[in-house]
Structure 1
Amino acid sequence: MPILETTNLSTDVVALDKAQCITAGAALHERYAAADPFPHIVLDDFVDADVLRRLAAEWPETSPDRTYYDRSQERLKYEWQPHDVKTPGLRAFLAEMNAEPMVRFIESLTGIKKLIADPYYVGAGLHETKRGGHLGVHADFNIHKGMDLLRRVNLLIYLNDDWLPEWNGDLELWSTDMKERRLSVPPKLGRAVIFNTDLDSFHGVPDVIACPPERSRRSIALYYYTSPVDGLANVPKRTTVFRPRPGTADKPDREVARRHFVNDWVPPALLRALKRH
């Protein structure tokens, strides 16, 4: 039975029950909070597999003019936000993942109160990585600039039926000091991974995807935020920070590191003056 039960209102719409979501999240809280290397959980059969197969059938085509990430740290990775998606099932599902029942589930699971779903789906939505692509190990951006919110939790849901181990594509969770991989999670259909997004929550899909050309690695990503009582003035602002794995040829993102150093150490008045010139 799925972790979260859905009500099939039509062939295109599913709905979650708020009370059931709160109960399910609370039952898993201790397991989540005690997880290593940072609070997280891997849940099989998160949502009904038939629902996800129906959504996978609606997945948008990657047209030749569609932009994607193509650099050392992330390659052949595509994203779609709801406004890019024309099919009703996927749009409705993305909206349901941002609705109150899901937010209450995430709150009960993580113990983080007053979570806020992102109506803009910044960096979230549908994710697809093609053969030959990868996503280096990283910690996520921490500030939602449009709403001045602090990012707290990621939810990833996989839509890959019959995914083979030799195709790679595992999500890796690394120790907070980046010395050791602690967990590898194959992206199988119906599996969800939920984790806290702190500045040292290092994760990624660093091994090059080796699936057949007609296949790709697909997931749905949702991010949840809070509004700190004291605001964001004392919060270090970070874009996505990539870290090389020990003993590999992974390349660090030196431009981002330089930008963070400048923002942290150059006096604000001087920084504003430099940006004007």
Structure 2
Amino acid sequence: MSVLTLQESGGYVSFDEDQCKEAGQSLATRYREASPFPHIAIDDFVDAAVLRRLLAEFPGSDGRDYFDREQERLKFQYHPGSVEGALVKNLLAELNSEAFLSFLEEMTGIGGLIPDPYYLGGGLHETKRGGHLGVHADFNIHNRMKLVRRLNLLIYLNDDWSPDYGGELELWDRAMTKCEVKVAPLMARAVVFNTDLDSFHGHPDPLSCPPERSRRSIATYYYTATEEGIANLPNRTTVFRKRPGTAEKRDMKVAMRHFVADWTPPALRRAFSKKA
């Protein structure tokens, strides 16, 4: 039985707000006391049969752009607007609904959560064999909505995923000295975690799944408004970090961008951004 039930009516699936609140309350202590930062992995989060129906609508990757650099390789992101399937759009809408926000707020203790109707970086994700996503902390400001990023939700879509395939989500301590948690990307397993400037996570080792397989997930992100606005907050893009004892390279382009943002006057920042 799943933690949250998707009720179907007239071909549309939806969450029940009372059930969402109750489930969130029951998981609150586990979430808030987790290390290295508040997080939770939940098995059987929603009905796997619904997710398997969604997989039938999963887009093909042919001809699509993907990330292919040192820090992230063979990773595809599919915005909901580029996906034709009705169930994909339905479920993503429900993950942004008032009922689901009540689940997140009760569990995390973060009030006033705001979903992202633009799905900046969200939607459906897929990483192919040999691909990886380096350990990183996510961007913290939604510049279009002028909001602060607070939570990530991932729901995995991988049946019969062998440990030999790799692809475990790693959560690293805030000093980037060790990996504290590994989560296998198994079907219907969800992960929720706080997104601070030092919430380091990723799946940094290349996938070794068969060529016809890939690591698939749903990703949605949640934000809050601040009374003072975002003007006085550091504005960070995704920051990749080198794991100790590896030959991984630092993302110097991003490091320079942050240095310029923090230490140069506005006029020089504008000049730098034009050259970049």
Tell me if both proteins adopt one fold, taking TM over 0.5 as the criterion: yes
Q: Which residue of 1 aligns with 2:138?
A: 140
Matches of 2:155 and 2:95, distance apart in 1: 10
Q: TM-score, normalised by structure 1?
A: 0.97
How far did 1:8 drift?
2.0
1:155 matched to which residue of 2?
153
Letter in 1 for 2:46: V
Shift of residue 125, structure 1, vs aligned partner: 0.3
Name the CA shift for 1:21/1:259 in 2 (closer, same or farther; >3 Å). same
Could you say which residue in structure 2 is the equivalent of 1:15? 14
What secondary structure is seen at the aligned counterpart in 1 of 2:221? strand
User: Aligned match of 1:233 in 227, 231, 234?
Assistant: 231
Alignment correspondent of 1:246: 244
CA RMSD of aligned residues (A): 1.2
Show the counterpart of 2:203: 205
Question: Structure 1: how far apart are the matches of 2:77 and 2:273?
Answer: 30
CA distance in structure 2 between the partners assigned to 1:209 and 1:276 by the alignment = 37
- In structure 2, the residue matched to 1:53 is 52
State the shift of 1:275 in Å.
4.5
Alignment partner, residue 68 of structure 1: 66
Compared with structure 1, are the counterparts of its residues 204 and 274 closer, same or farther at alpha carbon in structure 2 (3 Å cutoff)?
A: closer
In the alignment of these two chains, the number of paired residues is: 275
- Tell me the SS of whatever aligns to 1:95: helix
Consecutive unaligned residues in structure 1, runs of 5 or more: none
Pick which of 223-232 and 49-58 moved more.
49-58
Q: Distance in 2 between matches of 1:136 and 1:79?
A: 16
Tell me the CA shift for residue 276 of structure 1. 5.9
With normalisation by structure 2, the TM-score equals 0.97
**Matched position secondary structure for 1:104:** helix
Shift of 1:268: 2.2
Distance 2:78 2:127 in 1: 12
Residue 30, structure 1, aligned to residue 47, structure 2:
no
SS at match of 1:252: coil
Counterparts of 1:97 and 1:270, CA distance in 2: 41
Q: CA 1:275–1:90 in 2, change beyond 3 Å: closer, same or farther?
A: closer
Residues 276 and 175 of structure 1: CA distance in aligned 2, closer, same or farther (over 3 Å): closer
Aligned counterpart for 1:99 among listed residues 97, 101, 106: 97
Alignment map for 1:125-136 (pairs within 5 Å): 125-136=123-134
Cα 1:262–1:20 change in 2 (3 A) is same
Q: Evaluate the alpha carbon distance shift between residue 137 and residue 275 of structure 1 in structure 2; reply closer, same or farther with a 3 A threshold.
A: closer
Q: Distance in 1 between matches of 2:57 and 2:270?
A: 46
Distance 1:248 1:26, change over 3 A: same
Q: CA offsets, 1:19-65, max 9 Å, x none?
A: 110111011111111000000001000001111111112111111x2
Q: Structure 1 residues 198 and 273 mapped into 2: Cα distance closer, same or farther (>3 Å)? A: same
Query: CA offset at residue 273 of structure 1?
Result: 4.9
Q: CA distance change for structure 1 residues 89 and 274 in 2, over 3 Å: closer, same or farther?
A: closer
Equivalent residues in 2 for 1:259-274, closer than 5 Å: 259-274=257-272
What is the deviation of 1:274? Answer: 4.7
Structure 2 counterpart of 1:9, one-letter code: S
1:176 equivalent among 150, 174, 177: 174
CA gap of 1:273–1:76, structure 2 versus 1, over 3 A, is: closer
Q: Name the amino acid aligned to 1:244.
A: K
> How many angstroms apart in 2 are the aligned matches of 1:50 and 1:244?
38
Partner AA of 2:101 in structure 1: V
Go from structure 1 to structure 2 and tell me whether the alpha carbon gap of 1:190 and 1:261 turns closer, same or farther (over 3 Å shift). same
Alpha-carbon distance in 2 for matches of 1:276, 1:172: 36
For 1:274 and 1:89, the matched residues in 2 are separated by: 44
| Pairwise CA distance, 1:249 | 1.6
The alpha-carbon distance between structure 1 residues 272 and 48, as it changes in their structure 2 partners (threshold 3 A), is same
Letter matched to residue 7 of structure 1: Q
**How far apart, CA to CA, are the structure 2 residues paired with 1:211 and 1:146?**
37
| Distance across 2 between alignment mates of 1:41 and 1:166 | 23
Indicate the SS of the match to 1:189.
coil
